[in-house]
Amino acid sequence: MRRSKLAFCAICVLGASALPLKAQYQGLQLPGFTGLQAGTQAPQGYYLTMPLFLDYHDISIYGPQGNDVLHNATVGINVIVLPSFQVVTPFKILGANYGASFTEYIANGRVDVAAANFKRSTSYSYGDIYVQPAVLGWHLKRADITTGYAFFAPTNTSSSLHMWVNEIDFGTTLYADAAKKWNVSTMMYYDFNNTKNNADIKVGQILTLSGGAARSFLQGAANAGVAYSAQWKMTHDSGSGIPAVVPIANGRVFGVGPEVDMPVFAKGKNLGLVQVRYLWPSGPKEALGGQVFAISFTLAHFPKPIK
C-alpha cells in the first residue's frame, strides 16, 4: 500500500574552500522516504501519517570516482513529519481514482549556503510545505499505475530551502502472479526548482526514483522485501549567488536495504499501519550520501468496515 509521497528538507553538499571538492545544491527530495509498492495508490479512504521519523546519518561527501572524500561531513539529519494527510476519493478521472495530499515536517542538521557565506543550523524548525493537489491511481489485474503533480512552498525558516518547486510524479507496481503476492515497483519524482528567494541560486532539475521488490503477506495487508532509492542531478545549478569556491557538479546517489510494512491493529473502519525502512548508500559520486533509517505510523480510515 503506497503511503502518501513524503518529500522533505535537503542539504547543500559542501567542502571547505581548501579542499579540491566539487559540490551540488540538493533539492527537496531526500532519498529514502518511499519504498515498497511506491507505484501503488492506496485504496479509497483517509490517511494520516504522524509521526514519520527519518534519521539520515554517517553522512559523507563522495568524489567523482565514488571515493569517500570527506567522511562524516556533517552531523546527522532528523526529519519528523507532523503531519502528512492523504485522501483517495471515489471520484474517477479517465478511470483512475483521484486523490490529494499535504505534508509538513520539522527538521534539523541542515547545511546551507547563502551568497558567499557557508551557514549551518542544528536547531529544529518547520521545513517547506509539500502539497499534492492531484494524484491519479489505476488498479489493473497485474499492475498499478500512479501519476500526479505536486509542489513545494517555502516557509523561509532555518530548515527551508527558500524556493518553490514543481514536481511531476509517475510510477507503477507490477505483480508476478494473479494473487499479487510478489511485486516490484518504481516511482519517479522529477523536480523543477525555481530560483531561491534569498539568493540568486537556481538548483538544477532533480530526478529521484524509489521502489523495491517484495512479497505480501497477511492477505495482502503487509509487505516485506528490499527497497531502493536513486537520485541524479539532471541539470547544473546556476546563479550569481553560488560562491566561486564551490565548483558545481552533477552528482548521483543510490541506496538499498530492507523494508517491512504491516498493520498493527484493525477495528471497524480504521487500520493502523507501521512502515520501517533502512537504506545503505551505494555508488554515490560527487554527492552527499549517508545511511537512512525511516519509521512511520499511519492511521487509515476506510468507507467500509475492514473484513
pLDDT tens digits, 212-223:
999 999 888 899
pLDDT tens digits, 37-91:
999 999 999 999 988 888 877 665 555 555 555 555 555 677 888 889 999 999 9
Segment 194-217 mean pLDDT = 95
Sign of CA dihedral 216, 221, 222, 225: positive
CA pair distance 149, 100, nearest whole angstrom = 9
- Report strand pairing: 143-153 vs 165-175: antiparallel
Q: Does residue 144 register a pLDDT over 90?
A: yes
Q: Does residue 271 register a pLDDT over 80?
A: yes
Domain made up of 12-301: CATH architecture: Beta Barrel (2.40)
Mean confidence (pLDDT) of the chain: 83
CA pair distance 157, 164, nearest whole angstrom = 14
What pTM did the predictor assign? Answer: 0.86
Are 284 and 66 contacting, i.e. CB atoms less than 8 angstroms apart? yes
Residue spans of the domains in the chain: they are 12-301
